[in-house]
Structure 1
Amino acid sequence: MRLMLARASMAISLFLPVYFMVAALGVKFGLWTWQVGLMTMTLQFGLPLFGVSLILGLVALITSLVRKPRTGWRMALVGVLVPVVALGFLATVQLRSAGIPPIHDVATDIVDPPVFSTAVMSARQAVQANPVEAMTASMGSLKAYQGPAFAGIAGKTLGQVGHDAYPAVRPLTLAAAPAKVAAAAEAEAKAQGWKVVTSDPAAGVVEATAETFWFGFEDDVAVRIRPSATGGSVVDVRSTSRVGLSDLGANAKRIEAFLAGLKVRAAAG
């Protein structure tokens, strides 16, 4: 009986990673919506499964060690370690997200940010994506941020919240001419793994869609290149998630990585 319990504990713990991969990849490949994959399968049912697996593993481990023959304790230990590691990872994410503002739209220029084309806006509307709000809009005026939970940022604008949280997300000034930078921007967007939607070097515009590996969440990115006062170029970027309230810092990281790569690419070219 103790051996059966240990085996069941290990089997359930090893099943959990598969379950979460199926939930995430099912969204990515269109088998179900992100609400089903993330909210229902992952959060509503998945997290309690970790708790059940941990309790079962502890029971199996204790019963396998209390008396001889002490068989099955290694399997029971696996049944404990898998959910402990998973829950530890989730706790780390939770702690990290506590210091990240609950926004999903970040731009280098919050006064005059890049704008998305009609094609991108139509694609967003087709999937009922988050509205693209004005960077100068106060957080308290936005529908998604009503209530006491957002009282701390209600008096700030959307742009201010992003700039306060991500000081590295700022316009990039380059010595190269806009046409050269525009070509480098398109190449860098592709190097980042984004799907380029619009590329207009003459207008200094590159638009792309970035997709996450897990769940396949899509974020839209607009890159704008303008001539600088010194004869070079000024690059601005805006990255906006289609779904979700908080991006856990993903859009800011994407912009920072893109600008860092573009800086190297433009200098080398």
Structure 2
Amino acid sequence: MTNKNLYLPFEVDFKELEQFPKTIRKNNFFELIYIVDGTGIQVINDNKFQYRKGNLFLVTPQDVHSFEIITPTKFFFLRFNEYYVKAGSQNAQSETVLRMEYILQNASHRPGCILKNQIDKPLIASLIKNIISEQNNQQIYHQKIIEQIVNTIITIVARNIALKLPKNIKETTGEMVLEILHYIQENIYNPKELKSEKISSHFNITLNYLGKYFKKQTGETLQEYIANYKLRLIEARLLNTDMRINEISDELNFSDESHLNKVFKKHKGMNPSEFRKRYS
């Protein structure tokens, strides 16, 4: 595996490739990868997703990824780090900055195209086309214009990820609950770390206050949120990967495949295999 560093606040790159570099990469920055044209398979954290024209992927610093190209592919890369997000929000309240960081980090367990909002797909395509044009023409103020477009793209990405956050999370939501949500995301594969006692101890608050505070801020109890978050991960694996049910069960620490089937059917009204067949 190779590690790649970013030495500028952000950088854009456009490449047409018939074969992606063989090395599996892990970056110390965020990377947006847009498919201008072509087909193939994105491999991220051992999950696979068939890509095509118009797909947009967000690779976070926690992710390990590569591409298997089937037909020659035109890739657009936009790389930026968390300091760029902070610098771009200098005049914003710290809660807004934290929210943006949390939203971006929250994508790390979401394989596949992150554009869930249909109206954003043509908008992203147009913005990226404009960046490529500015890069090629190099007219006066082109760098400043590119920077403004980059900010817009990052904001649109945050909106698409935010669509899947708890319904009560707003711009004014307190910083602590965002930190709790981020903690849950980081430890979703380690159930011992997700016990209420462990979380209350980690944040140095009482169990009683944790329960009331979390419910008030998100509209869900702590355990409801964890369960619903796991369900979203299961859905993503079913729709965007070829993982078997028992593999998903092992990854998310269910006692066995039948336990996952029972939990999934209780919430979705069908078992995982039926869900995959109906919605893939």
Q: Is TM more than 0.5 here?
A: no
User: Who wins on radius of gyration, i.e. which is larger?
Assistant: 1
Higher relative contact order (CA 8 A, sep 6+): 1
